[in-house]
Amino acid sequence: MKTANYSELRKNLKSYLDGVINDSEPLLVHRSGNESVVVISLDEYNSIKETEYIMKSPAMMDIIREGEDEIRRGGGEKADIDDLWK
């Protein structure tokens, strides 16, 4: 994870924000005398929120666990990843 202090971030805001997007890497911003913050891309934020939503659903987590168990037992079938989106 890249890091910067508040002053560096202000001086190079565009460069740091471009790095967050282009490198898909969060940025930790240290703030003297205050709590640090993390800057992430909107895509990363949305992914985290989606995962959080799924994990809050007991029914969805049961389905995921059942699928994992089936795979461990040798079940399931191989599929081309592109076919999953058709």
pLDDT tens readout for residues 10-19? 999 999 999 9
pLDDT computed for residue 81 by the predictor? 79
Residue 77: band (very low, low, confident or very high) from pLDDT cuts 50, 70, 90: confident
pLDDT tens readout for residues 45-65? 999 999 999 999 999 999 999
- pLDDT tops 90 at residue 42: yes
Percent of the chain with pLDDT over 70: 99
pLDDT computed for residue 43 by the predictor? 95
Domain residue ranges of the chain, discontinuous segments joined by +: 2-40, 43-76
pLDDT computed for residue 51 by the predictor? 94
DSSP state of 76: S
**Per CATH, which fold does 2-40 belong to?**
YefM-like fold (3.40.1620)
| pTM of the predicted protein model | 0.68
